[in-house]
Amino acid sequence: MDKVIITAAVTGSRPTKAMNPAVPYTPEEIAKSAIDCCQAGAAIAHVHVRDPETGKPDFRIELFQEVMDRIRDQCDMLINLTTSGLHLSGPDMIDRRLQPVALRPDICSLDVGSVNFPDAAFVNPPDWASIAAQRMRDYGVKPELEVFDVGHIYQALSLIEEGLIDAPPYLQLCMGVRWGMEATPENLLFMKSKLPSNARWSVLGVGRAQREMAALGILLGGNVRVGFEDNIYLREGILAKSNAQLVERAVELIRALDREPATPDEARHILTIVR
């Protein structure tokens, strides 16, 4: 079986230092956390940026650039920049969301389909997905198709059929996000059954579901995402001291299930990403 790619989603937009003091805010903190994760066994860093002073979600291109530069100065892990834009608004929102693509990271997330969260609607209209897929293709950036429900997979399949996604497609199955697909073994098996046969895929579980979804994802031949964006606890009631600690736990789980974590170069080969 292929080695397991570990993605470290080191900050996201929701967790705060009030929730866990180890959540990184500044470009230096975010980059250092990603580099520590690489040393612990992660091959990909999934990057959001924050206002360095307040910690609020930010989308300034210079912050993304600084994080990228700091990571690439220290290690060869793949960089996955978000284009989620959950906190953006306005008539130019699509162009603003796609600014990180112009930095030419290895990967950019591409959220397919809309979903209601308890406190907001995450709106991803059909034209967004098509425009984003074409822009990423133009810049030679691998899309990571993030799906929160099975209907999102059907839309991803449509993008693939239209020739907007180069083979092999890469999908992130987002499990346990209220009110998306519940993180259960049955649901993960169902979601996986809808993927194209040549797909590369990864799974994330939110909160206490992170370890269970990772274990099942490994057993099913997939890859895993861990990190503070999805979960700030090592175990119930015990905060993780760092993103790297969550990566270390994922490495232990992978090896306990007789697989090995992929190096950055092995991840590039699995995902067919040319440096």
Give the pLDDT score at 86.
Answer: 85
Give the helix/strand (H/E) hosting 40: helix 27-40
CB atoms within 10 A of CB 191: 22
Residues 6+ away with beta carbon under 8 Å from 189: 220
Q: Which residues of 230-250 are buried (b: 16+ CB within 10 A; e: fewer)?
A: bbbbbeeeeebebbbbbbbbb
What fold does the segment set 6-271 form as a domain? Answer: TIM Barrel (3.20.20)
Compute the distance between CA of residue 46 and CA of residue 101 in angstroms, rounded to an integer: 14
Give residue for tokens 């579901």: 209
Secondary structure class of 133 (helix, strand, coil): helix
Q: What is the pLDDT at residue 166?
A: 96
**HEC letters along 63-119:** HHHHHHHHHHHHCCCEEEECCCCCCCCCCCHHHHHCHHHHHCCCEEEEECCCEEECC
Domain ranges of the chain: 6-271
Q: How many CB atoms lie within 10 A of CB 41?
A: 21
How confident is the model at residue 260, as a pLDDT?
Answer: 98
Print pLDDT tens along the chain (275 aa).
589 999 999 999 999 999 999 999 999 999 999 999 999 999 999 999 999 999 999 999 999 999 999 999 999 999 999 999 888 888 889 999 999 999 999 999 999 999 999 888 999 999 999 999 999 999 999 999 999 999 999 999 999 999 999 999 999 999 999 999 999 999 999 999 999 999 999 999 999 999 999 999 999 999 999 999 999 999 999 999 999 999 999 999 999 999 999 999 999 999 999 87
β-strand partners of 224: 6, 203
Q: How confident is the model at residue 234, as a pLDDT? A: 97
| Cβ partners under 8 Å of residue 144, min gap 6 | 80, 107, 108, 109, 110, 170, 171, 172, 202
What pTM did the predictor assign? 0.97
Cβ–Cβ < 8 Å for 265, 76: yes
